[in-house]
Structure 1
Amino acid sequence: MTSQSQQPLQGQVAAVTGAASGIGFASASAMVHAGARVVLIDRDRTALDKACATLGSQAVPLVLDLLDRDQCASLLTQVLALEGRLDVFHANAGLYVGGDLVDSDPDAIDRMLNLNINVVMKNVHNVLPHMIARGSGDIIVTSSLAAHFPTPWEPVYASSKWAIDCFVQTVRRQVFKHGLRVGSISPGPVITSLLADWPADKLAEAKARGSLLEASEVADVVIFMLTRPRGMTIRDVVMMPTQFDL
């Protein structure tokens, strides 16, 4: 029999956005293994079905395009229709725009800022009343090391993460009185599809010197945050490869 210490999230329901791959999938997988039922949210139905098949019956797919206003607004309603409650929300979905600003596509900038900032704010706004009414809940946002360092090769992306870091810290102050915890996790470069937009020379250099994180390592820290005593909030975790040099 599995003990509570081995499955510390048993009985809880979580929802993770951008869950079909990368950090989102790793987070969902870690939560399933910790005993939670997890609603995996992504716009890629094929990838989502594959992810849920891998994780088993504790994983539930929910296809949503968060950049669609109406679909975004339906997130909590659909999660509750599937599972009846929500204990943990991991706002993870995001896009990356790197390189010199002068070379950036304005439409790509709009899309990234909308997903990285506006959607996160709207998702959190959506789930807060349910958690406040229940007097308990955890919200974790995937931020970035770029929220803490003015990374010269990604001014647009870094700006989105600086904004969301401020959002996390201010919302936490508003809702802790309701028994809610809000925190962010800020990893350095992680081996995910987002790195496809990195400058080729910088990516090759990072791989050569071992200065990239695995998504599973980020997920381990998410579980650490969720399993602290309720009287403790891990507001922000900055994690980076030991060989990463700013």
Structure 2
Amino acid sequence: MAGELAGKVAAVTGAGSGIGLASSRAMLAAGAHVVAVDRDERALGAIRDEFGDAASTLAVDLLDPQACAALAPRIIEAAGRIDIFHANAGSYIGGNLVDADGAAIDRMLNLNVNVVMKNVRDVLPHMMERKSGDIVVTSSLAAHYPTPWEPVYASSKWAIDCFVQTVRRQVFKDGIRVGSISPGPVITALIADWPADKLAEAKASGSLLEPEEVANVILFMLTRPRGMTIRDVVMLPSNFDL
């Protein structure tokens, strides 16, 4: 798909690793200028080394309310506009609810739900004024299936899936497409908190996805004709249900 995003500006949160990094690479290869957003300065440095002038980087702690509110203006200042916004940053809590730390629950719900809502809200006026734009939110298979080993995480993704579906219906008239990608378990740092036996079982059975596989689907969503919206994609390893 080389060149299919030529001239576009794509901003990706949580771009320093995992799905965010893979998504950034895929959109860069398709010709977009990527604004990589992450709190990890070292990861952003690696992105600058890899991408060169084809990327801009912004060090942002999205859990800082002032930094979060300044994100959209900073992206526009860095790259001139926002054609694509990939709301990817998130965190994970697994295990039994009774064992979950209260502060960790607050942090995860804030990042997975509140920050996504505020980021999308802040990007929309810019896209609405231009009558064009694409928003993709990283959701999860957990938004579609009540996974018993991750009730807090799954609840955050159920909430954000509802958000994506309702916002889509508000802004389609403005030429803006809103969709979500809901992968099954992906080999990223997020699943390091899985119960050890569950993680070992998934690795042994080939029941994990690579971040690049998710990025390829995101690129497919973004490169459809403007009259078509790929609104929700659920993807999982074929062995997942074994």
Contact 2:23 2:212 in 1 (8 A): yes
Q: Which of structure 1's runs of 4+ aligned residues deviate more than 3 A?
A: none
Identity of aligned residues (%): 71
CA distance in 2, matches of 1:76, 1:160: 23
Q: Which residue of the other structure, out of 158, 163, 184, is the alignment partner of 1:162?
A: 158
Gaps (5+ residues) in structure 1?
none
Contact 1:40 1:52 in 2 (8 A): no
CA distance in 2, matches of 1:245, 1:200: 18
1:102 aligns with 2:98: yes
Q: Name the TM-score, length of structure 2 as normaliser.
A: 0.99
1:221 aligns with 2:217: yes
Contact 2:10 2:32 in 1 (8 A): yes
SS at 2:53's partner residue?
Answer: coil
Matches within 5 A, 1:139-150: 139-150=135-146
SS at 1:184's partner residue?
Answer: strand
Gaps (5+ residues) in structure 2?
none
Task: State the aligned residue count.
Answer: 242
CA distance in 2, matches of 1:56, 1:221: 25
CA distance in 1, matches of 2:44, 2:182: 24
* RMSD over equivalenced CA pairs, Å: 0.8
1:37 aligns with 2:33: yes
| Cross-structure match for 1:230 | 226
Deviations 1:83-133 (A, max 9, x none): 111100000000000000000001000000000000000000000000000
- Deviation, 1:210, is 0.4
Q: Name the TM-score, length of structure 1 as normaliser.
A: 0.97
The code of the aligned residue for 2:55 comes to: A
CA distance in 2, matches of 1:240, 1:198: 17
Contact 2:35 2:57 in 1 (8 A): yes
1:241 aligns with 2:237: yes
The code of the aligned residue for 2:222 comes to: L
| Cross-structure match for 1:184 | 180
CA distance in 1, matches of 2:225, 2:91: 32
The code of the aligned residue for 1:86 comes to: I
SS at 2:237's partner residue?
Answer: coil
| Cross-structure match for 1:62 | 58
Q: Which residue of the other structure, out of 5, 8, 19, is the alignment partner of 2:4?
A: 8
The code of the aligned residue for 2:88 comes to: N
CA distance in 1, matches of 2:80, 2:53: 16
Contact 2:56 2:79 in 1 (8 A): no
Deviations 1:140-193 (A, max 9, x none): 000000000000000000000000000000000000000000000000000000
CA distance in 2, matches of 1:32, 1:52: 12
| Cross-structure match for 1:24 | 20
CA distance in 2, matches of 1:31, 1:6: 9
- Deviation, 1:47, is 1.1
| Cross-structure match for 2:127 | 131
CA distance in 1, matches of 2:88, 2:49: 20
CA distance in 2, matches of 1:233, 1:52: 32
